[in-house]
Amino acid sequence: MASQIRITIAVARVLREFLANVHRPRYGYDLMQVTGYPSGKLYPILARLVEAGWLIREQEDIDRSRAGRPVRYLYRLSEEGAQATQRELAAISEQLAPPASEQLAPPGRPQSDLARQGICT
């Protein structure tokens, strides 16, 4: 069972990358490039998500000598992680959306009830 994760901006950004294609396994360097996060920021996030059951971490099945590089660890969303990610990112989106009553007004006109009442400008 997936446990709760504190969804920070950094965690949300990493999770968004996994939602872009839920079936595509990602590896750390790839995620570092798309998020712009250094390894010291990214890998602790990945570790917390794995520990919580939101991500599955698998070792790549290659011959290191033939590939000429170390084995990579691939990460992908678990089924529970995908559902939790969609739910959490939707909640964040909803929280950030401006209220319908605060749609942009033409210049020089109040934008909120408080501004109309003279409480704030």
Q: Quick check: 112 pLDDT over 70?
A: no
- Count CB-CB contacts under 10 A for residue 99: 8
Handedness of CA 14, 16, 22, 26 (dihedral sign): negative
Residue ranges per structural domain of the chain: 9-116
User: 9-116 is classed in which CATH architecture?
Assistant: Orthogonal Bundle (1.10)
Cβ partners under 8 Å of residue 36, min gap 6: none
Which among 26, 110, 106, 52 has a CA at the least distance from the CA of 13?
26
Provide the whole-model pTM: 0.74
Contact 111, 105 (CB under 8 A): yes
Reported as a single tens digit per residue, the pLDDT across 51-97 is 999 999 999 888 888 988 888 999 999 999 999 999 999 999 888 88
Please give the average per-residue pLDDT across 43-49, as a whole number. Answer: 97
Asked whether residue 2 carries a pLDDT value surpassing 50, the answer given is no
Q: How far is CA 116 from CA 81, 107, 121, in A?
A: 44, 14, 8
Give strand pairing partners of 26. 75
